[in-house]
């Protein structure tokens, strides 16, 4: 996979870019929020040290092409409001997983849909993935609706796959094929162009 360290994707209202050391406080604000982390596979953070560790790990992984994690920066005020990720790359099977999270204050404005449209297009067109998958908590109805709106189809349900803070939770598995993505022409009138690698 290519080096993602300098990758930037501009959408109508967002700049998707690699996280920076200076983003630690914003990342911590997102990941320490109980509402944001309710359906994640990890508990809400209690130390900003975890933000510094995540950013260092991401910067290293991005430079080697291990995975792609982009901060979602709102263009109007330059505030980092979330992250979106392509990870678990399987080059032989041309497959990856998608992950995402956003600050509670930014929910309900369509930012995540805008960011994921760009990330999916980049994954299918520039990285050559044939399939992108998502693993979500089935109780997270907003996330399920977002995936379906993007064209994902629910393909499975795994019982008690996660245990976070002693709470067992299931996984709902979603998948989207490149051929399905291309047939829907998602990028029409979206106001952005993708960089090429």
| 129/110 Cα distance (integer angstroms) | 25
List the domain range (segments joined by +) for residue 42.
9-184
Size (the chain), residues: 197
- Summarize pLDDT for 13-42 with one digit per residue, the tens: 999 999 999 999 999 999 998 888 787 778
Instruction: Please report the pLDDT score of residue 42 as a whole number.
Output: 81
- How many domains, in total, are found in the chain? 1
Of 13, 9, 10, 15, nearest to 110 (Cα)? 13
In a domain, 4, yes or no: no
What average pLDDT score do residues 33-54 get?
88
In a domain, 159, yes or no: yes
Q: Tell me the CB-side half-sphere exposure of residue 152, using CA atoms within 13 A.
A: 26
Residue 188 has pLDDT above 70, yes or no: no
**Global pTM value:** 0.89
In a domain, 193, yes or no: no
Per DSSP bridges, beta strands 95-102 and 131-136 are parallel
Residue 189 has pLDDT above 50, yes or no: no
Residue 195 has pLDDT above 80, yes or no: no
Which residues contact residue 106 at a Cβ distance below 8 angstroms, ignoring those fewer than 6 apart? 74, 81, 82
Residue 128 has pLDDT above 80, yes or no: yes
Instruction: Please report the pLDDT score of residue 43 as a whole number.
Output: 83
In a domain, 197, yes or no: no
Instruction: Please report the pLDDT score of residue 187 as a whole number.
Output: 53
In a domain, 72, yes or no: yes
Burial of 19 (0-12, 13-18, 19+ CB in 10 A): buried
In a domain, 195, yes or no: no
Q: CATH number, domain at 179?
A: 3.40.630.30
In a domain, 191, yes or no: no
């Amino acid at each position: 996979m290519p080096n993602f360290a300098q990758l930037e994707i501009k959408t109508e209202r967002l700049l998707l870019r690699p996280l920076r050391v200076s983003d630690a406080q914003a990342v911590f604000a997102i990941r320490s929020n109980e509402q944001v982390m309710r359906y994640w596979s990890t508990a809400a953070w209690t130390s900003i040290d975890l933000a510094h560790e995540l950013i260092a790990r991401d910067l290293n992984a991005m430079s080697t092409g291990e995975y792609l994690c982009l901060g979602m920066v709102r263009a109007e005020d330059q505030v980092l409001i979330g992250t979106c990720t392509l990870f678990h790359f399987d080059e032989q099977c041309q497959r990856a997983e998608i992950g995402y999270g956003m600050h509670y204050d930014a929910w309900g404005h369509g930012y995540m849909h805008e960011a994921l449209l760009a990330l999916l297009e980049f994954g299918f067109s520039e990285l050559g993935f044939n399939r992108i998958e998502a693993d979500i908590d089935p109780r997270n109805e907003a996330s399920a609706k977002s995936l379906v709106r993007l064209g994902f189809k629910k393909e499975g349900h795994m019982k008690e796959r996660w245990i976070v803070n002693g709470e067992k939770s299931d996984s709902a598995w979603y998948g989207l094929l490149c051929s399905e993505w291309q047939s829907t022409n998602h990028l029409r009138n979206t106001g952005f162009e993708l960089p090429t690698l």
